[in-house]
Amino acid sequence: MIDTPPAVELHVHVEGTLEPELITELAARNGIALPYRDIEDLRARYAFHDLADFLALYYANMAVLRTADDFAAMTRAYLRRAAAGGVRHVELFVDPQAHLVRGVPLAAVVDGVAGALADDAPGLGITTGLIACFLRDRPPAEAVDVLRALLAADAPLLGIGLDSAEVGHPPGGFAEVFALAAEAGLHRVAHAGEEGPAAYVTEALDVLGVERIDHGIRSLDDPELVDRLVRDAVPLTVCPLSNVRLRCTPDLRDHPLATMLHRGLRVSVHSDDPAYFGGYVDDNHRAVAAALGLTRDDQARLAHHAVDAAFVSAERAAELHAEVDAWRG
Ligand X SMILES: Nc1ncnc2[nH]cnc12
Q: Name the burial class of residue 68, with classes exposed (0-12), middle (13-18) and buried (19+) by CB atoms within 10 angstroms of its CB.
A: buried
| Beta-sheet strand order (sheet of 159-163) | 7-13, 87-94, 127-135, 159-163, 187-192, 212-215, 235-238, 266-269
Element (H, E) at 118: helix 106-120
Select 9 or 272, whichever has its Cβ closest to Zn ion: 272
- Name the active-site residue from 9, 15, 166, 194: 194
How far is C-alpha 5 from the geometric centre of its chain's CA atoms?
18
* 218 makes contact with ligand X (CB under 6 A): no
Binding mask 239-278 for Zn ion (x = CB under 5 A): ---------------------------------x------
Q: Is 194 a catalytic residue?
A: yes
Distance CA 30, CA 37 (A): 17
Binding string, residues 264-283; x marks residues near ligand X by CB under 6 A = --------xx----------
In the complex, the smallest distance separating the C-beta of residue 277 from ligand X, rounded to whole angstroms, is: 8
State which of residues 10, 51, 208, 320 lies at the interface with ligand X (CB under 6 A). Answer: 51
Helix (H, G, I), strand (E, B) or coil at 85: coil
Of 17, 75, 242, 268, the one binding ligand X by CB under 6 A = 242
The reply, when asked if residue 305 is annotated as ligand binding, is no
Residue 111 or 272 with smaller CB distance to Zn ion: 272
Secondary structure (3-state) at 270: coil
How many Cβ atoms are within 10 Å of 108's Cβ, its own excluded?
18
Contact 265, 229 (CB under 8 A): yes
Which residues carry out catalysis?
A: 194
Q: Which residues here bind ligand X, judged by CB under 6 A?
A: 13, 16, 51, 58, 163-164, 191, 194, 242, 272-273
Q: Which residues here bind Zn ion, judged by CB under 5 A?
A: 272
